[in-house]
Amino acid sequence: MNRTELNLKLNLEICANDGVTVVYCRGRLAYREEATALSEAVAELLLHSRHVVLELSAVEMIDSACLGELVVILMWARASRCSIKLAAPPRHIRALLELTNLDSVFEIYPTLDDAALACREQAA
């Protein structure tokens, strides 16, 4: 078990395939610890990956702390000339992204396959 599984209500699974790194997020993206865990994981990936997709289909909830961390992650990615895409957010997460106008800042895709394809097209 890793730190995430032991202490947090968030599980992050990372998988790289064909130039795209996917972070499967399961549970709650909330509170300081979960937001920090996500930031630390993605910061490490940005050192080695050009395209990162955050797969959100199993995210139960997200709070303002994590919304802020998502924006920080996006700024890091842009500074590193990397792309960050959000994939498959549940309806309530998508509504929150729209309510906060973050849907105009992030590239959001209905499925992981759509996000991965966009990454591959961007790389070509």
pLDDT band at 32 (very low <50, low <70, confident <90, very high): confident
Domain coordinates in residue numbering, the chain: 3-119
pLDDT at 30: 84
Average pLDDT over residues 20-37: 91
- Kindly provide the b/e burial profile for residues 35-66, where b requires at least 16 CB atoms within 10 angstroms of the residue's own CB: bebbbebbeebbeebbbbbbbbeebeebbeeb
Mean pLDDT of the chain: 91
Q: What is the largest CA-CA distance in the chain?
A: 40
pLDDT at 8: 67
pLDDT at 4: 42
**DSSP H helical ranges for the chain:** 3-7, 31-46, 64-79, 91-99, 112-123
Reported as a single tens digit per residue, the pLDDT across 76-122 is: 999 999 999 999 999 999 999 999 999 999 999 999 999 999 999 98
CB 9 within 8 A of CB 39: no
Backbone angles phi, psi at 81, to 5 degrees: 60, 40
> pTM for the complete prediction?
0.91
Compute the distance between CA of residue 84 and CA of residue 56 in angstroms, rounded to an integer.
13
Domain 3-119 fold is Transcription Regulator spoIIAA (3.30.750)
pLDDT at 25: 96
pLDDT at 7: 59
Q: What percent of the chain has pLDDT over 70?
A: 94
Q: What percent of the chain has pLDDT over 90?
A: 79
